[in-house]
Amino acid sequence: MTMEEGERLICYCPVCDSSSVRMDARTVRMEGHLRLAHLHCRKCAHGVLALVLVNRVGASSVGVLTDLAYEDALRFQDAPPIALNDVIDVHLAFGEAGWTGAAPVKKRHAKVTRLPS
């Protein structure tokens, strides 16, 4: 089985069940027998990131719905993973007065602090 045949197996939209004729598939990355593909449904405009493994035995794949465009998938593929302190920093930033110019949001959670590095 070729990589293209394996990719064709996953070319249906899990949201609206459109077939491969309505799906655009582009390769984000290839490494050996693995291909990361971005699928875009022309009918409902949802996206899927699919990891496809093709070898002599056959093909298997796993996909996740995404709001990433193909260009975003290319851009973020080598980005560092999000660390817990990154999430805490965003939480703290949203909790600060003046973030949006609106009145401060009432804090309903315990005090959040960064983890030691």
Which positions lie near Zn ion, rule CB under 5 A? Answer: 13, 15-16, 18, 41, 43-44
In this structure, what DSSP letter does residue 23 have?
A: E
The minimum distance between CB 24 and Zn ion, in angstroms, equals 11
State how far the alpha carbon of 47 is from the alpha carbons of 12, 14, 18, 27, 71, in Å: 11, 10, 12, 13, 12
Residue 8 or 43 having the CB closest to Zn ion: 43
36, containing H or E segment: strand 34-41
Return the number of the residue (10 or 54) whose C-beta is nearest Zn ion: 10
Separation of alpha carbons 96 and 94, rounded Å = 6
Of residues 16 and 30, the one with the C-beta less far from Zn ion: 16
Minimum distance of Zn ion from residue 3's CB (angstroms): 23
Q: Which is nearer to Zn ion, 15 or 53 (CB)?
A: 15
Shortest CB 13 distance to Zn ion, Å: 3
d(CA 84, CA 68): 22
Q: Nearest distance from residue 53's CB to Zn ion, in Å?
A: 24
